Amino acid sequence: MRTTNILAVILVTLASAASPTFAADLPATSRAEIDALLNRLGTSGCQFNRNGSWYSSADAKAHLAKKLNYLVEKNKLDGTEQFIKLAASSSSMSGTPYQVRCADSQPVASQTWLTTELQTIRAKAAPPK
């Protein structure tokens, strides 16, 4: 019986080590919110300024998705606000803040734009009072 217990502990340890994303999963609510934010950005038609160049909303979504995946793999995210702060507010290389420009509007900080969108997502998800 003792050998079986030891074997079970070894198998669980090996399985955990072989699957680093197992420990790095975001809470389901945060992952859904981040996915919704990325989808809103990707379909917004807005432009995204990164290090002085303007990119399409689809390119912005792809870029931020790569940063999201990196942070999840490194187990550095625990929520949506942290994603906005660490991945979607500024360049990790230059530190330059990202900007979003929609239609004829003035550019706004991506952190502001994404936080506003997150509030909208949460308001729609909240149960009616």
Residue 115 belongs to some domain of the structure: yes
- Asked whether residue 16 is assigned to any structural domain, the reply reads no
Q: CA 7, CA 68: separation in Å to the nearest integer? A: 36
Residue-by-residue pLDDT tens, the chain, 129 positions: 555 444 444 433 433 333 333 335 889 999 999 999 999 999 999 999 999 999 999 999 999 999 999 999 999 999 999 999 999 999 999 999 999 999 999 999 999 999 999 999 999 988 877
What's the chain's Rg over C-alpha atoms?
Answer: 19
**Nearest residue to 33 (alpha-carbon basis) of 73, 66, 63, 68:** 68
Domain of residue 32 covers 26-125
Q: Is residue 48 in some structural domain?
A: yes
> Could you tell me if 89 and 40 are in contact, meaning their C-beta atoms sit under 8 angstroms apart?
no
What's the whole-model pTM score? 0.78
Show the tokens assigned to 83. 């994603």
Structure-block tokens of residue 64: 């931020």
What phi and psi, each to the nearest 5 degrees, are found at residue 55? -125, 160
Considering the domain boundaries, does residue 21 fall inside one? no
Task: Please check whether residue 19 lies inside any domain of the structure.
Answer: no
Number of domains in the chain: 1
Q: Is 74 part of a structural domain of the chain?
A: yes
Farthest-apart Cα atoms in the chain, separation: 72
SS3 state of residue 119 = helix
Token pair 């934010």 is at which residue?
37
- Residue 64, judged by CB atoms within 10 A of its CB (0-12, 13-18, 19+), counts as buried
Q: For residue 4, is it within any domain?
A: no
